């Protein structure tokens, strides 16, 4: 494989030599991945992979209009690059006008790390985890789970001189433990697979399985509920994905306001909660610039290389920003706002033990599952509780409860929350295929809506 930097220069040179496009963007992502799965105290699947994706975005301008052609390929041979540029340019000439036209960003040349070798990973990343796991496999609880490590380096180069590079490490370990009919879950985000607290995860799982020695059947209904950080993350990530500005402006999302316009400015809660994304958040670092081969409501190919800063989507309990690429921001007379690939929320100072101790009777959840939109007008979502619903009585966990199907809106949860605990780094279980970087508080909901009982264990 030729180095990714060379792919970028070859692509830009080929485009310049052809003289058939006005501007060109080349994005190369080199990805190394290792995975390990286990079930019933035995490994099931594993693997390592090395791959590259190259995207060429060709832009043809005429007056105030622009046409875009995009071609992507996983091919790694040098000869493929010129063919990709040629195909993208052909596509641009045949394309209708782009709706998100904006000038390309210009750059100040190569960043200091531009030519550094691309870091990688392999099965060796799991050495420590595997040692601790094999001890767990020798125990009496049945263990299921997954360890995953991806190191992906993305380089963006444009014919306007912009060069940006970022290496994104993404890792996670999830363990599901079963004892009899009881099931518990623990998960952590581990970007570089250092210091994965596997032993303490196993201890925590054992405590939770112990809580299930007594079980109580409860019917559907509204319950005071402590939503731990993973569950808050899963609901708030969905809210974040639903916060595109255009849809709200056009009256077609839950962020549209009655009478027209958006809900920006609406106070959801008197709790001083701020929900934000920030590419420089410690331990949750992610790309501080836009890199995308495909346009959408949230991203524009014209914005490739655009710096991403912290954005407060909710500030002090009020909706404060929606997502706008530059062209949409100009259209709607607002500032561009681009989400980084993480999500954080502020909270209070109480830890989970404090919040349990302050609960007379309520439910403590572990994780949520199979979350889908039921009513987009209110962002009503359905889903299930999974791997541990616990009954709190007089400030103590006293039993495990059956699972439930819930119907709730993340907007309504914020509107009704009465307490937020200390924010913690967490793994959002439902969305961990896409989102592993989150910090969230525990939320106390006085009347969480459990719509029906699920027999699933």
- 8 Å CB contact between 263 and 257: yes
SS3 at position 437: coil
Q: Which is nearer to other proteins, 99 or 214 (CB)?
A: 99
98 vs 196 by CB, closer to other proteins: 98
Nearer to other proteins, 215 or 457 (CB): 457
Which is closer to other proteins, CB of 86 or CB of 398?
86
The DSSP code sequence of 243-294 is -BHHHHHTT-STTBPTTSSB-TT-B--SS---EEE-TT-TT----SB---SS
Work out how close the CB of 260 gets to other proteins at its nearest, in angstroms, rounded to a whole number. 5
Minimum CB separation of residue 83 from other proteins in Å reads 11
Nearer to other proteins, 5 or 292 (CB): 292
Instruction: Compare residues 171 and 423 and give the one whose CB is closer to other proteins.
Output: 171
292 or 346: whose CB is closer to other proteins?
Answer: 292
What would the two tokens of residue 374 be?
A: 């039921």
Structure tokens at 232: 């808050």
Report the candidate in 285, 130, 250, 226 with the shortest Cα–Cα distance to residue 419: 226
Contact 88, 56 (CB under 8 A): yes
Q: What is residue 302's DSSP assignment?
A: G
Q: Contact at 8 Å (CB) between 387 and 363?
A: no
Nearest approach, Cβ of 168 to other proteins (angstroms)? 15
**Residue 419 tokens, joined:** 């307490």
Q: Which of 315, 382, 322, 391 is nearest to 359 (CA)?
A: 391
Q: Return the percent helix, strand and coil in the chain, to nearest 5.
A: 20, 40, 40
Least distance from other proteins to the Cβ atom of residue 429, Å: 9
Least spacing, CB of residue 394 vs other proteins, in Å: 28
Taking the least distance from each CB to other proteins, the nearer of 230 and 346 is 230
Which residues 6+ apart lie within 8 Å of 216 measured at CB?
Answer: 391, 399, 400, 401
Number of H helices, E strands in the chain: 9, 22
Q: How far is the CB of 250 from other proteins (least distance, A)?
A: 6
* Least distance CB 371 / other proteins (angstroms): 7
In angstroms, what is the minimal distance from the CB of 1 to other proteins? 6
CA–CA separation, 367 vs 373, rounded Å? 18
């Amino acid at each position: 494989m030729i180095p990714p930097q060379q792919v970028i220069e070859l692509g830009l040179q080929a485009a310049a030599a052809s003289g058939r496009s006005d501007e060109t963007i080349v994005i190369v992502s080199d990805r190394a991945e290792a995975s390990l799965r286990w079930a019933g105290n035995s490994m099931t699947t594993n693997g390592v992979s090395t791959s590259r994706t190259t995207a060429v975005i060709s832009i043809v301008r005429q007056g105030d209009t622009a046409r875009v052609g995009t071609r992507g390929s996983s091919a790694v041979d040098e000869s493929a690059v010129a063919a990709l540029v040629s195909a993208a340019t052909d596509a641009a000439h045949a394309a209708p006008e782009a709706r998100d036209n904006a000038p390309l960003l210009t750059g100040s040349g190569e960043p200091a790390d531009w030519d550094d070798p691309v870091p990688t990973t392999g099965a060796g990343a799991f050495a420590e985890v595997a040692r601790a796991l094999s001890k767990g496999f020798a125990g009496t609880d049945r263990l299921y789970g997954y360890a995953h490590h991806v190191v992906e380096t993305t380089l963006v180069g444009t014919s306007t001189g912009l060069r940006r590079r970022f290496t994104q490490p993404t890792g996670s370990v999830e363990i599901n433990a079963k004892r009899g009919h009881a099931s518990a879950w623990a998960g952590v985000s581990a970007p570089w697979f250092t210091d994965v607290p596997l032993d303490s995860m196993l201890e925590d799982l054992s405590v939770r399985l112990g809580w299930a020695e007594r079980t109580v059947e409860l019917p559907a209904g509204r319950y005071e509920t402590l939503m731990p950080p993973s569950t808050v993350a899963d609901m708030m990530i969905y809210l974040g994905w639903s916060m595109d500005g255009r849809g709200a402006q056009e009256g077609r999302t839950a962020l549209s306001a009655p009478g027209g316009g958006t809900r920006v400015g609406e106070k959801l809660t008197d709790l001083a909660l701020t929900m934000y994304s920030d590419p420089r958040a410690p331990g949750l670092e992610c790309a501080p610039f836009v890199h995308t081969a495909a346009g959408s409501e949230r991203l524009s190919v014209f914005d490739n290389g655009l710096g991403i800063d912290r954005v407060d989507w909710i500030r002090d309990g009020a909706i404060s920003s929606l997502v706008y690429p530059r062209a949409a921001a100009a259209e709607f007379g607002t500032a561009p706002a681009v989400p980084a690939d993480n999500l954080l929320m502020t909270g209070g100072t109480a830890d989970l033990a404090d919040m349990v101790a302050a609960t007379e009777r309520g439910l403590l959840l572990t994780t949520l599952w199979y979350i889908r939109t039921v009513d987009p007008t209110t962002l009503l979502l359905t889903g299930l509780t999974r791997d541990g619903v616990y009954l709190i009585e007089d400030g103590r966990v006293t039993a495990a409860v059956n699972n439930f199907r819930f119907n709730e809106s993340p907007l309504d949860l914020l509107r009704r929350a009465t307490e937020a605990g200390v924010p913690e780094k967490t793994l959002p279980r439902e969305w961990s295929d896409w989102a592993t970087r989150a910090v969230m508080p525990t939320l106390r909901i006085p009347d969480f809506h459990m719509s029906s009982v699920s027999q699933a264990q």
